[in-house]
Amino acid sequence: MLEKIDHLGVAVKNLDAVRAFYMEKLMLPCEGEEIVPEQKVRVAFLPVGETTIELLEPTAPDSPVAKFLEQKGEGMHHVAIRVTNIEEALASLKAKGVRLIDEKPRIGAHGAKIAFVHPKESHGVLIELCEKSE
């Protein structure tokens, strides 16, 4: 059911500046960028082997990422785990009494179905489940 680490989400204030660091200093390619209206973020994708670093810049003050930056500053925001069936994964976690931020999947970058597990449950790590049709 859990397949692999799909991506790591990193919250940043200035996506262009941070992307330049990853591209020019770490020599990572950038696969593109996208605005995700539902999450109010601009996202840049930098693949590293089988996984991807996603840089997240808020597009509005009420974006969840803007709130994160206010409280914790820039840095690791979430770990995304790829699942085969997100509805099943959510139902299974709910049955085990795990607190979820999203009881139903939302649409994330690349049209993937995503849902967040409450970070209190995972002791400070925000876990995103994502299902991608490839």
What is d(CA 84, CA 1) in angstroms, rounded to the nearest whole number?
6
Nearer to Zn ion, 77 or 93 (CB): 77
Smallest gap from Cβ 65 to Zn ion, in A, equals 10
Smallest gap from Cβ 114 to Zn ion, in A, equals 6
Nearer to Zn ion, 24 or 50 (CB): 50
Residue 41 phi/psi, 5° resolution? -140, 155
Maximum pairwise Cα distance, the chain: 46
What is d(CA 70, CA 68) in angstroms, rounded to the nearest whole number?
5
Smallest gap from Cβ 109 to Zn ion, in A, equals 7
Which residues between 28 and 87 bind Zn ion (CB under 5 A)?
A: 80
9 is a site residue for Zn ion (CB under 5 A):
yes
Nearer to Zn ion, 46 or 80 (CB): 80
Q: How many residues bind Zn ion (CB under 5 A)?
A: 3
Question: Which stretches within the chain are classed as H helix?
Answer: 15-24, 64-72, 86-95
Among residues 15, 53, 82, 128, which is the contact residue for Zn ion, using CB under 5 A? 128
Nearer to Zn ion, 44 or 80 (CB): 80
Write out the DSSP string of 2-39: EEEEEEEEEE-S-HHHHHHHHHHTS-----EEEEETTT
Q: Which residues bind Zn ion (CB under 5 A)?
A: 9, 80, 128
